[in-house]
Amino acid sequence: MSLIEIGKKYPSSKNISGFIQLYEKYFSSLRDSKINILEIGIENGDSLRIWREYFSKANICGVDIDKKNFKIDNVDIQHGDQSNNVFLLSLINIYKNFDIIIDDGSHQAKHIISSFNFLFPYLNDNGIYIIEDLQTSYFPRYGGSRINLNKKQSSMNFVKSLADSINYEKNNRPFFKKNKFDGLIKSIHFHQNIAFIYKGQSIKYFYNQDFKETLSDKIKKFLSYFF
């Protein structure tokens, strides 16, 4: 059965949002792989049931801040706070690394950002970090803004900033401040209300040992400070 067909068996909100169709596209190559999957925010467990049926060889861990009174065969359900690094470290001590991380948790910008900062180093190369329901980035109660779309601490603008970490080497931009994710993200795929972030070494197109800045390059760079 396809992921879409499996999804129809369970009333997960991922069906209503259209996320299941996207997951089919991004997960199909990993279906038969021995991978570790972490999902933050599990509601009534329907998405975990979907993953369990689709990924027959995966280790699957679901996390929720609310304690759950149900069990799912061959799924590890943990009770904890996604913004608590001590709790997240306890997961790393068990699983070491993950290949898929899905953040469908509180949707609070500060929680999305803190979870990403902590967990991304434990995502394997070619792994996928997914952030769902990014429409909440525009809601003030989730740390966003409907008026200031450039609000730095919103979840959407955090993900947008990660795009710079892919492209900064291409341009010798003045005032650019390198961050810890530079060179570690291969691609980011935006869809309505969801982003798929692929981990992997980016190619250094511009800054390399063979590049020598000419006098003309230096003049252009100086002028770019003002224009």
Catalytic residue among 107, 111, 189, 191: 107
Confidence check: pLDDT of 91 > 70: yes
Residue 167: predicted pLDDT: 74
Confidence check: pLDDT of 223 > 60: yes
Active site residue 107: yes
Q: Residues 105-127: pLDDT tens digits? A: 999 999 999 999 999 999 999 99
Give SS3 for 198: strand
Q: How would you label 153-188 residue by residue, b for 16+ Cβ within 10 Å and e otherwise?
A: ebbbbbbbebebbbebbeebeeeeeeeebbbbbeeb
171: amino acid identity, one letter? N
Residues 219 and 186: their CA atoms lie apart, in Å, by: 31
Residue 97: predicted pLDDT: 98
**What's the structural domain count of the chain?**
1
Q: Residues 169-220: pLDDT tens digits? A: 555 555 556 678 888 999 999 999 999 999 998 776 555 445 566 788 778 7
Residues 5 and 33: their CA atoms lie apart, in Å, by: 20
Q: Residues 46-83: pLDDT tens digits? A: 999 999 999 999 999 999 999 999 999 999 999 999 99
Confidence check: pLDDT of 154 > 60: yes
Instruction: Look up the CATH number of the domain holding residue 206.
Output: 3.40.50.150
Higher pLDDT, 179 or 104: 104
Residue 106: predicted pLDDT: 97
Q: Which domain holds residue 107?
A: 3-224
